[in-house]
Structure 1
């Protein structure tokens, strides 16, 4: 399978916890669809101390996985909000 675009998108989005509104990531997202996965190499700023766990309320918002052979976080539906 093809790897994600090496150059990567330029547009960045802020990702927040939906429950407590704590910031989680600043991420270079491509496209205009919903946030389903976050490739680790595209994360600009990471505000979490424990991977995949919200620093504010402690809930798990994603799962650590490999997508197309590249490390990524697979988002759990209804746990995160993007601006």
Structure 2
């Protein structure tokens, strides 16, 4: 399978916790679909202290996984919005 584009897109989106509305990270997203997974190499600014956990309310919002051989966060539906 093909790896994700190294350079990545230039458009960034802000990802927030759905429960407490605190900002989790800024992500360089490509395409116009829903945010389902986040490749770790495309996260430009990370505001979380512990990976996959909201720093304010400590809700688990994602799971760490490998997608096409690249480390990524698989987001849990309804836990985040952008």
Superposition TM-score tier, normalisation by shorter sequence = over 0.9
The aligned counterpart of 1:11 is 11
Report the TM-score when normalising by structure 2: 0.98
The aligned counterpart of 2:62 is 62
What are structure 2's unaligned runs of at least 5 residues?
Answer: none
1:22 aligns with 2:22: yes
**d(CA) in 1 for partners of 2:50, 2:5:** 27
The aligned counterpart of 2:75 is 75
The aligned counterpart of 1:37 is 37
Count of matched residue pairs: 82
Report the TM-score when normalising by structure 1: 0.97
Which of structure 1's runs of 4+ aligned residues deviate more than 3 A?
none
What are structure 1's unaligned runs of at least 5 residues?
Answer: none
Cα distance, 1:6 vs. partner?
1.7
What RMSD in Å do the two structures reach over aligned CA positions? Answer: 0.5
Query: SS at 1:41's partner residue?
Result: helix
